[in-house]
Amino acid sequence: MTTTTVVEATSTNTAREKINTLISQLNAKVLERSDLIDLIMIGLLTQSNLFIGGPPGTAKTLLIELVSKALGMSYVYKLLGADSTTDDVIGGIDLVALQQDKVFKRNLNNGLADAQVACIDECFKANSPVLNTMLNIMNEHIYVNGHETVNCPLEFFVGLSNELAQDNTLAPFWDRFVLRYWVADASRESVLALLKRSSNPITEPQVTASLSIDDILAAREEISQVEIGDEVHVAMLDIFAKLREKLEDHRVSTRRARQLVPIIKARAWLSGRAKASEEDLSVLRHVLWEDIRQIPTVKNVIKEVLGAFEAQIEALHTDLKKIGSKLTQLSKKTELTTEDKTTVLAHKATLEDIKEKIDTIPTSTDQDTTRKTYVKRAVTTYIATCNKLIGGTEEK
């Protein structure tokens, strides 16, 4: 019998704390999907349509189901096929209205126009007329039903597929997806961990955190207050220009550029910042591609524009190794001289400077983020060593 433990949702007072609790629980439940989980949250918080593509069995549907349950909102899931009709997606014809009022309208209950969270699976399988009925719902959140224009309660729209659209007539539908993520198969280590969960009586992480619509609205209000400096705007334009150089016919429309602003703000907000930095532009790697073959180029361009990460991080790492070596030597002494203590204080000041510099270094890949995290941990450890040597309070 499998025992189940729960990663408890702690009592929190702010929207960010509740969202971070949910993110933590989702990461514990679904392995190797941290970037996608962050992107789902960004999509929800900015009401940006999200496309998730990739091979079957990569937790695409599972993640959306988990998030929808945590939100407690009305959730509509539709699986499309070649024979799907507007009746299947929007709702059947309202026969009473047709017979009594001679008005052609649809029963919208439990259809796409009635959803707060909508998930359309195999979203490119249906024909273009069916997909075109979704366009106004996706962006303007309205649906013309007979003589009436209905305001739709949609908060978040997600499209899933194992492949990209092959038909050019689907371009308007594809263009509605501002956020785009291509899922890779899980690593050997993660598959092994999942197999152990399935076959052994071990703990199974559960998602128990919840968010109300008030939490979402509060978060959106805070995100709207996040500042974006001129240096970020300039870096965005540089990325657009370099992509035009490297990818034939690549362009970012004015409309799309404006759609990126709340996404960048949300990325900063989730990281706990009141002002967006160039680092937050790393999220654009999930926005600026049209075909999966473009993804490596988009990542490389963003990394190039955001600065020579390797050079910056290596310089800090070299400084850290020197400081670490000196601190190790001083730790071996039974008693520090006044001169030794002065040296330790100087090292601590340098470490504090490094700590500030790290936060300004932009990252564009998961490897960059991992290395940056490693250096930050080393800095924290060395500062604690300095405090111990001079009899200060150890940092938590």
Where residue 308 falls among pLDDT bands split at 50, 70, 90?
low
Whole-number pLDDT of residue 394: 44
- The pLDDT assigned to 367 comes to 57
Residue 194: what pLDDT?
A: 81
Residues 28 and 5: their CA atoms lie apart, in Å, by 11
The CATH number assigned to the domain holding 66 equals 3.40.50.300
Q: Are 47 and 156 in contact (CB under 8 A)?
A: yes
Residue 106 belongs to a domain: yes
Task: Please tell me whether residues 292 and 324 are part of one structural domain.
Answer: no
Lowest mean pLDDT among 249-253, 348-352, 371-375: 371-375
When pLDDT is cut at 50, 70 and 90, the band that residue 55 belongs to is very high
Read off the CATH number of the domain in which 230 is found.
1.10.8
What pLDDT is attached to residue 309?
54
pLDDT tens digits, residue range 226-247?
A: 999 888 898 899 999 999 999 9
Q: Which of 305, 329, 347 corresponds to the end of one domain? A: 305
Q: What is the pLDDT of residue 4?
A: 37
Number of domains within the chain: 3
Pick from 155, 132, 1: which is nearest to 70 by CA? 155
Please determine, for residue 13, whether its predicted confidence score (pLDDT) is greater than 60: no
On whether residue 173 sits in a domain, the answer given is: yes
Q: Residue 328 falls within a domain, yes or no?
A: yes
Going by DSSP bridges, is the β-strand pair 142-145/148-151 parallel, antiparallel, or unpaired? antiparallel
Structural domain boundaries enclosing 98: 15-199
| pLDDT at residue 202, rounded to an integer | 62
- Residues 270 and 231 both lie in one domain: yes
174 and 80 within one domain: yes
Long-range contacts of 30-35 (CB under 8 A, 24+ apart): 30/59, 30/62, 30/63, 30/66, 31/186, 31/190, 31/193, 31/194, 32/186, 32/187, 32/190, 33/59, 33/63, 33/183, 35/181, 35/286, 35/366
Q: Do 326 and 272 belong together in one domain?
A: no
Q: How buried is residue 146: exposed, middle or buried, by Cβ count under 10 Å (0-12/13-18/19+)?
A: middle
- pLDDT in the model for residue 137: 95
Q: Are residue 36 and residue 165 in the same domain, yes or no? A: yes
Which class for 248: exposed (0-12), middle (13-18), buried (19 or more C-beta within 10 A)?
Answer: exposed
pLDDT of 395 strictly over 80: no
Contact (Cβ atoms closer than 8 angstroms) between residue 159 and residue 77: no
In a domain, 211, yes or no: no
Q: Distance (Å, rounded) from C-alpha 346 to C-alpha 352?
A: 10
Whether 284 and 323 map to the same domain: the answer is no
Is the same domain home to 246 and 370? no
84, 182: one domain: yes
- Would strands 275-276 and 179-182 be described as parallel, antiparallel, or unpaired? unpaired
Does the residue 58 lie in any domain? yes
> Is 23 part of any domain?
yes
Task: Indicate if 265 and 350 belong to the same structural domain.
Answer: no
Most distant CA pair in the chain, distance: 97
- 330 and 349 in a single domain? The answer is yes
Residue 356 lies in a domain: yes
The two tokens of residue 88 are 């299947």
Residues above pLDDT 90, as percent of the chain: 54
What whole-number distance in Å separates Cα of residue 360 and Cα of residue 304?
16
Residues 34 and 49 in one domain: yes
What is the model's pLDDT at position 396?
41
Task: In whole angstroms, give the CA distance from residue 358 to residue 122.
Answer: 41
Tokens linked to 346: 């100087």
Residue 273 resides in a domain: yes
Measured between alpha carbons, how far is 257 from 270 in angstroms, rounded to an integer? Answer: 21
pLDDT at residue 201, rounded to an integer: 58
318 and 260 both lie in a single domain: no
How far apart CA 132 and CA 143 sit, in angstroms, is: 12
Per residue in 69-85, pLDDT tens? 999 899 999 999 999 99
Cα(355)–Cα(358) distance, rounded to whole angstroms? 5
pLDDT for 167-218, tens place per residue? Answer: 888 889 999 999 999 998 888 888 888 888 877 756 678 899 999 999 999 9
- Is residue 12's pLDDT more than 60? no
Q: How much is the average pLDDT of 17-33?
A: 92
Between helix 15-29 and helix 60-71 the angle, nearest 10°, is 150
